[in-house]
Structure 1
Amino acid sequence: MRRFWIISTVFVLVAATAVFGILRNYLEKINQDSVSKINQVHMKESSSEIQHHFDTIINLRISQAQSLLSEAQNEDNYDTIMYNLSVGADAFGFTFIGMYQEDGNLLTIYQDKDETINIINEQPFRTSIKNDIDKVALGETQSGDLLFLQGVPADFSIGENNGIALVTGGPMDFLNEELSLQDNGDGCLSHIIRNDGSFIIKNDDNATENNYLDRVSKLAEASGMDSDKTLSDIKQKMADREKFSLYFSDGTLNHHCFYSPLTNSEWYLVTLMPEGATDSIIQSNSDLRLKAVMISGSIILCILLGSFILYYLSEKHQRSIVEKAKADAEAAKAEADHANKAKSEFLSNMSHDIRTPINAILGLATLAQSRTDNENDMKNYLEKIILSGKHLLGLINDILDMSKIENGKLTLNITPTSLRETVNTAAEIIKPQANAKNQLFDLFIHDITEDMVFCDNVRLNQVLLNLLSNAVKFTKKNGTVRLTVWQETPEENSEYTRTHVIVQDNGIGMSEEFQKIIFDSFSRENKENIMRTEGTGLGMAITKNIIDAFGGTITVKSHIDQGSEFHITLDLKPCVPKREEHNLPDENNTLKEEKHGLQGKHILVAEDNELNWEIAYELLTDFGLKLYHAENGKRCLEMFEESELNYYSAILMDVRMPVMDGYETTRAIRSLLRPDADLPIIAMTADVFSEDIKRCLDSGMNDHIAKPIDIQQVMATLENTIIKKQ
């Protein structure tokens, strides 16, 4: 054991020594890299700030000069012009205003001292003015004072003198102070130079050179660089107006230099930082080295305790596996309990969504029974009963589709739909409920540009009834429920019409907490007056899923005891023809007028239910069709075989029949060796799932109609299939 500890100790010491050595070298490299990177970043930021400040000053000065120029151009009186320019010069801090003439002469208009001004390096200034470009330049008085000049090109006259630019100027010290180019204590200072290296502003009194490029040449030689190549590269980059940086080291002091061009001039900003200015950074790196030592000690400690930790972690891992298995089992049990509870609540509270249309059907049927002597009322009640029955059918389909909704497999049946008709349908179903509570129910439909749209009308109707029935249910007697529908054209997609549906009430409202979970399944607010209200808590979850399937949005705003507002936004594609009337059409009358071009056609109906046959017979014979009844699939096959060629135009085929079902019958007819064996066969069945429809088509049928039948759909399907066959 002793030998083991000795070997272990030696190993730890060797490992620690190696770690410290590697760490020391690594920290030294970090220090060097940090110094270089921080200098670069600091200089770039400082240079960028100065450059931005320079641009601001130039723009301000040129703007002030343009203001003076405008006054000179808009005034004809010589004395007034001179007075205005004098006042403007004092206000803006100009010590010189001049007129730059076509021949290059600079005529003094205003000056605080009576001295001649010469533009240094005039050729670039003259070229820019000729090209109608604002320009800054350096001016020099007879006494040697330097001025910061700004030239604004414009043709103007003062008295008998004509100029091509107004030139304004002020002391050069103003620019140096404004730009803060001197050393502010951080070791960083800046110069402004021309392309030839001559100084515009010089801030290093220790330097003896009068040309910056001469200084660079000496620094390059001291750094062991090729001075000629360095100068050539600098001149080329300055000619190309590039930003660039250089690093010089003369053995005692290292310099970082950053170069950036200044706008409206041939000048360059040179920012310098001696590396000694980064002592604080080095100190920071020393602190980092100390932290690294601490980390190294921690590593050694970790090596010594490694065996124990590994053992501890292994044991802990085994414990965690057992605990996780236990937690998973408890979670599975809780999930199963929750699922069972949800199913129980669903089955016990399903009346919330089903009772609304049933209530309308029973109420309207009672009214119809009591008013048999009034044909118009009877017709109105029967139409509304049909609408409520359709909605009830849609609800039953929704209940069957609930698993699809939860699995994200909800599908829409997009068909041409009258928006007004769908809205009015929902309104007519909900009105009796509102009247029963003496509530005011308002319906506002306005700005409907496209009544006929592609939409799933059953799903949309379901959404409306979910929202409206909740509004009526959670609004007290004598309250108000409002349904508003309007349209606009969305900017991002003009092919669609944006439809807004707003349901408002002044009922009991909802808390902010409940508004966050209102669209979750089985969610109901835990309040006494709500818990007494029937419902499953599925309505809003179904509504949200339907709106999502439409690609729309639904938002809610609500306050306790003030009411609620639900706002639905849907982008629906218009279709033709448009429907402009608010009143619901009489479908049967419309069909009777059109006749669908099927008068006198012989239709064989395979239907084992006598009541269903009677309904089909009464509805279809009104449109001039001749119907023949086969009570099962076998009889249907026999009647077709015994018929003359092309006697039947189509067959309406039930699926579930005794003796021979619809699938077998269809396959048998298609296999007959007679020319009309390919006549249209249309399924007319209560099997409405997608797999049922596919099975019908696979057996040889041409189309599918769901029970209870919609006469308009039946006639349209017959016409389409028969005409297509012909």
Structure 2
Amino acid sequence: MKKNTLRTLWLSLTVMLIFCIVVFTGLANYTVTQSDRAIGEVGEIYMDQMGTQVKMHFTTMIELQESRMNGIIWSTPQQSAAEDPEQAWAHLASMASQTGFHFLSLYSAGGACDTIFGEPVEIGDPTSFMDSLAQGELHVTDGTLPSGERLLLLGARAVYPMRSGGTSSILVVGLPMEAITKELSLDIGVTQAYSHIIRRDGSFVLRQADATRDSYFERLLTLGHFDNGTPTEAVAAIQKAISSGEDYSLLVEINGERRNTHFTPLTYSDWYLVSVLPYSLLYEPTYSLVNQSVLSTLLGCGLVLLVLLTLFFFYFRFSKRQMIALAEARAAAEHANRAKSEFLSNMSHDIRTPMNGIVGMTAIASSNINNPEQVRDCLKKITLSSKHLLGLINDVLDMSKIESGKLTLNLDQISLRETMDSIVSIIQPQLKAKQQSFDVFIQDIQSELVCCDGVRLNQILLNLLSNALKFTPSGGRITVTLMQETSPADPHLVRNHFRVKDTGIGMSPEFQQRIFDSFTREDTTRVQKIEGTGLGMAITKYIVDEMGGTIELQSQVDKGTEFHITLDLEAVSDQEADMVLPNWEVLVVDDDAQLCSSAAASLTEIGVHAECALGGPSAISMVERRHQKRRDYHVVLLDWQMPGMDGIETARALRRRVGKDIPILLISAYDWSDIAEEARAAGISGFLSKPLFKSTLFYGLSRFAEPASAKADAAPKLAPDFTGRHLLLAEDSALNWEIARDLLSSYGFALDWAENGRLCVERFQASQADHYDAILMDIRMPVMDGYQAARAIRAMDRPDAREIPIIAMTADAFSEDIRRAMDSGMSAHIAKPIDIRELLRVLQRCLS
């Protein structure tokens, strides 16, 4: 029996060991398979994103080179070139050299070539290249110099005289092909990933690593080994994807090394980017870990059953944790890529909003070029939109601070009137496109000037209005209300209430609880076709919190949404003269009772008695009664868009009854360029833009006061005169020097130019004491940068070197850049692009 028992035990143990080995081996294989699949998907995501990023960088680099090439053409007028060809050729060569090109040539329509700068180049694909350029398309190709050096070529249509006679039709420039490798970082880096660039036939434009053959397809056919199919089938599949302009990925083994390979087309060319990542970088660490786990499992099979079961239990838990970790890693990678794409999409939307204003106002100015007042108004709105666009760019560059919770506020004096004007001008094109009704209400304004971060306030309001525009259908209504009161927290502060209300699709109660979370959008069919990332409201909430304010939300599905922002801001005392008008009788006509009462209250504050009419017929009756009593209104303010009888129809009726003596002004939050001619023909005397701040009403009406008083009120402020002052400008950009010279010389300054920091130091050292009144110092310059130059000047053994104002004038505009400029001995910091008013203010302060 003992032998039977032992035999049974051994048999049981053997069966158990075999069973455990089979089970554990199966689990191990399952783990390897799942790990292989999960990491393979991560590898595909990584390769796709790497190719996309390099492609975007290539597009940006080509567009930058195109802008440099266009700069050469713009700086060499084609009309003057016909008058003095030699000078034009010399200028083209000089500009090509200065902008970093190694080659510039002119081509006629018949194919004749005239090399202006550099050696003659043999174009790789001249027919496709020239045909694309002749059609006005941006296209690049490669070329070869006699020395064998290869160039990246691009061109544009340009008409210049040629040395061989006749005129050119195409201008072509080139830069070394190594620039692509350097700019795009195509070579092997820390990650061991690298890239080739090939033509559609497989020939190399750029090759990296161990690629030695002339054709990438030949390399695959000769050296490649594939898991599925033969090299011929694999190359055929690649060629099919390339001919269709599609992305393509595969796994290939070359010289014993398996490689993830991704193909993606490059814009503005017939080239394809081939991104390569060694297979081992993703798989070897995981395989090593899995192999160790399997080995420990097999060794555990020799232990006692209890130990074996315990090891099995721990191994199962370990495998489960490993799979969870891999899934989390994959989810984190996908979330990071999705977050980056969503953020870029959001910023693209935000940047296009002021760009819409710039493009729209430019078109309006172009169509009204003979109307100086209209052009000035458009230029003002373009300036406001440009400033907001610059603020958004600064936000993109400062994104790391926002993500780490280190966003800083730049407090400065701002005008709420100018802020609201800029908001209105930016969103006008979108309002017009969607035919939405829009109004701005101003109530109980105690101080138009407050201390606040103007860029962040713009960002808050534009984020809210952008959502209102997107989620309100055509024909809907959007309103913005600004109301002030004394702050309960501090009597020295003024509490500002900003309300943005729409009649859009509204939000569900559940989504209202999550709206301020990052990347959150309501997942319903109502918003699936509306672009957005869900990032804007999270940033808005963060900024409001940093400003010490609050944001509240009220919304109902299919009825609309209202955001209420409350900010306590420091009021700035207005240094302008008291705004007082004569004791006029003014009629305000608007179908909105709230706007009428608000405008009447503001008019009362500046000394005017105002009455309200809620429509055209009512206004006509009131004006007629006054006219019959010979007590005409001094001014009539008419809203443009009113139901039944609009402002223009009302103006025609009023003119028929009371003649031309009473000024009639049209008020609206919309751009009136399309109706200006019709309005003036109807008898409109002028226009006022909503929102109707007290200053807006005062300056709009003061020109109708008594001549002497009007002239006194309108007396222009004299611009500062700096005649006799000498400035030394250190700037390596000729264009920036020309801008600074023209702007500052108009105020009396005499300027000298130093092309880099060392020349600036030498010119100052060679000058007589106190010859220069100030130095304007760029930071990023060749030979010696601005920081080094400032320290060198401060170290000179002469009294004026320690006292002369040195003003940093640079595009490095973050707070750490300002601090570094001050630490190097500079007196002030001005950010590019230059605001001439700010520069003059700093110069006046430093020179006083």
Q: For the superposition of Structure 1 and Structure 2, which TM-score range results when normalised by the shorter chain?
A: 0.5 to 0.7
Match of 2:212? none
CA shift digits 1:228-254 (9 cap, x unpaired)? xxxxxxxxxxxxxxxxxxxxxxxxxxx
For residue 508 of structure 1, report the CA deviation from its aligned partner. 1.6
Aligned to 2:479: 482
Matching residue within 833, 837, 842 for 1:712: 837
Q: Which runs of 5+ in 1 are unaligned?
A: 1-310
Going from structure 1 to structure 2, the CA distance change for 1:339 and 1:613 (only over 3 Å counts) comes to same
Return closer, same or farther for 1:637/1:593 CA change in 2, 3 Å cut-off.
farther
Q: Which residue of 2 aligns with 1:622?
A: 746
Partner letter of residue 654 of structure 1?
D
Partner residue in 2 for 1:634: 758
In the alignment, the residues of structure 2 paired with residue 320 and residue 341 of structure 1 have an alpha-carbon distance, to the nearest angstrom, of 31
1:691 counterpart (808, 812, 816): 816
1:592, 1:531 → 2: CA distance? 54
**1:454–1:573 Cα contact (<8 Å) kept:** yes
State the SS of the aligned residue for 1:603. Answer: strand
SS at match of 1:344: helix
Q: Which amino acid aligns with 2:566?
A: T
* 1:384 equivalent in alignment to 2:381: yes
1:613 aligns with 2:610: no
1:11 corresponds in structure 2 to none
Q: How does 1:151-162 map to 2 (within 5 A)?
A: none
Partner of 1:675: 799
Find the residue that maps to 1:531 and give its secondary structure.
coil
**C-alpha distance 377-674 of structure 1, shift in aligned 2 (>3 A):** same
**CA shift in 2, pair 1:611/1:329, >3 Å:** same
Shift of 1:347: 2.9
Compute the displacement of 1:474 (Å).
1.8
Q: Which residue of structure 1 aligns with residue 334 of structure 2?
A: 337
Structure 1 counterpart of 2:556: 559
| Structure 1 residue 649 corresponds to structure 2 residue 773 | yes
Instruction: Measure, in 2, the Cα distance between the counterparts of 1:419 and 1:324.
Output: 57
Distance 2:725 2:559 in 1: 61
CA distance in 2, matches of 1:677, 1:539: 49
**Residue 619 to residue 446, structure 1, CA distance change in 2 (3 Å):** farther
Offset at residue 528 of structure 1 (A): 4.1
Once residues 549 and 808 of structure 2 are traced to their aligned partners in structure 1, the CA distance between those partners, rounded to angstroms, is 34
The equivalent of 1:423 in structure 2 is 420
Q: SS where residue 530 of structure 1 aligns? A: coil
What is residue 352 of structure 1 aligned with on the other side? 349
Decide which of 504, 509, 513 is 1:507's aligned counterpart.
Answer: 504
Rounded to whole Å, the distance in 2 between the matches of 1:591 and 1:645 is 40
CA 1:673–1:386 in 2, change beyond 3 Å: closer, same or farther? same
CA–CA separation in structure 2 for the residues paired with 1:502 and 1:317:
60
Partner residue, 2:789: 665
Distance 1:316 1:690, change over 3 A: farther
Q: Residues 599 and 624 of structure 1 are in contact (CA less than 8 Å); yes or no, is this contact kept in structure 2?
A: yes
Q: How many residues align?
A: 413
Which residue in 1 is equivalent to 2:530? Answer: 533
SS at match of 1:637: helix
* CA apart distance, 1:626: 2.5
Instruction: Quote the Cα distance in structure 1 between the aligned partners of 2:715 and 2:316.
Output: 75
Distance 2:698 2:746 in 1: 21
Amino-acid identity (%): 53
SS at match of 1:573: strand
Q: CA deviation at 1:316?
A: 8.0
Question: How far, CA to CA, are the matches of 1:331 and 1:590 in structure 2?
Answer: 68
Larger RCO (CA under 8 A, 6+ residues apart): 1
Q: State the secondary structure of the residue aligned to 1:410.
A: coil
Q: CA deviation at 1:671?
A: 1.6
Q: Distance in 1 between matches of 2:819 and 2:350?
A: 30
After TM superposition, the structure 1 = structure 2 runs for residues 66-81 of structure 1, keeping only pairs within 5 Å, are none
- For 1:583 and 1:599, the matched residues in 2 are separated by 37
Match of 1:399 among 383, 393, 396: 396
Distance 1:399 1:430 in 2: 21
SS at match of 1:605: strand
Q: Which letter does structure 2 place at the counterpart of 1:388? A: S
The reply on whether 1:517 has 2:642 as its aligned counterpart is no
Identify the residue that residue 492 of structure 1 maps to in structure 2.
489
Counterpart-to-counterpart distance in 2, 1:655 and 1:339: 35
Contact kept in structure 2, 1:360 and 1:432, CA below 8 Å: yes
| Distance change >3 Å, CA 591–CA 460, structure 1 → 2 | farther
Task: Say whether residues 1:472 and 2:469 are aligned partners.
Answer: yes
Shift of 1:350: 3.5
RMSD across aligned positions (CA) = 3.0
CA deviation digits over 1:552-611, x for unaligned, max 9? 11111111221110100001112233675238999xx99983545644322222122222
Matched, 1:451 2:473: no
Query: How do 1:83-232 residues align onto structure 2 when only pairs under 5 Å count?
Result: none
Q: Is the 8 A contact 1:597 1:719 kept in 2?
A: no
Describe the SS at the equivalent of 1:503. Answer: strand
Measured after TM superposition, the shift of residue 502 of structure 1 is: 0.3
One-letter code aligned to 1:537: G
Cα-to-partner distance string for 1:510-543 (whole Å, 9 max, x where unaligned): 2222222222222222344533233333221211
Any residues of structure 2 matched to 1:28-39 within 5 Å, and which? none
For 2:533 and 2:348, locate their aligned partners in 1 and report how far apart those are by CA, in whole Å. Answer: 8
CA distance in 2, matches of 1:660, 1:643: 19
Within 1, Cα distance between the matches of 2:737 and 2:507? 50
Distance 1:538 1:410 in 2: 16
Structure 2 partner of 1:582: 696
Cα-to-partner distance string for 1:472-513 (whole Å, 9 max, x where unaligned): 222122221111001111223222111100001111222222
**Distance of aligned partners of 1:336 and 1:418 in 2 relative to their CA distance in 1, 3 Å threshold:** same
Shift in Å at residue 674 of structure 1?
Answer: 1.4
Question: Following the alignment from structure 2 to structure 1, what is the Cα–Cα distance between the partners of residues 717 and 744?
Answer: 14
Q: Separation in 2 of the partners of 1:715 and 1:427?
A: 29
Alpha-carbon deviations, 1:191-222, whole Å to 9, x = none? xxxxxxxxxxxxxxxxxxxxxxxxxxxxxxxx
Matched letter for residue 332 of structure 2 = E
Q: Structure 2: how far apart are the matches of 1:348 and 1:461? A: 19
Q: Who is 1:34 aligned against? A: none
Distance of aligned partners of 1:592 and 1:721 in 2 relative to their CA distance in 1, 3 Å threshold: farther
Unaligned segments of structure 2, at least 5 residues: 1-307, 577-693, 701-712
Taking the aligned partners of 2:715 and 2:313, their CA distance within structure 1 comes to: 78
Pairwise CA distance, 1:344: 2.4
- In 2: Cα distance, 1:547 partner to 1:511 partner: 23
The answer as to whether partners of 2:553 and 2:564 remain within 8 angstroms in 1 is yes
CA distance in 2: counterparts of 1:450 and 1:397, whole angstroms: 29
Structure 2 Cα separation of the partners of residues 596 and 387 of structure 1: 23
Offset, 1:313: 11
Match of 1:603 among 727, 745, 748: 727
CA contact 1:603–1:625 (8 Å) conserved in 2: yes
Normalising by structure 2, we get a TM-score of 0.46
Partner AA of 1:522 in structure 2: F
What CA deviation, in whole Å up to 9, does each residue of 1:234-293 have, x standing for no partner?
Answer: xxxxxxxxxxxxxxxxxxxxxxxxxxxxxxxxxxxxxxxxxxxxxxxxxxxxxxxxxxxx
State whether residues 552 and 565 of structure 2, in contact with CA within 8 Å, keep that contact through their aligned partners in structure 1.
yes
Any conservation in 2 of the 1:592–1:622 contact (CA below 8 Å)? no
- With over 3 angstroms needed to count, the CA separation of the structure-2 counterparts of 1:362 and 1:574, relative to structure 1, is same
- Equivalent residues in 2 for 1:305-344, closer than 5 Å: 323-324=320-321, 326-344=323-341
Contact 1:519–1:544 under 8 Å retained in 2: yes
Give the 3-state SS of the residue equivalent to 2:382 in structure 1.
Answer: helix
2-structure distance, mates of 1:460, 1:350: 17
CA deviations over 1:159-195 (Å, ceiling 9, x no partner): xxxxxxxxxxxxxxxxxxxxxxxxxxxxxxxxxxxxx
> 1:571 maps to what in 2?
568
Residues in 2 aligned to 1:585 and 1:636: alpha-carbon distance in whole angstroms: 47
| Aligned equivalents of 1:680, 1:469: Cα separation in 2 | 44
- Counterparts in 2 of 1:489 and 1:319: CA distance versus 1, 3 Å: farther
Equivalent residues in 2 for 1:5-84, closer than 5 Å: none
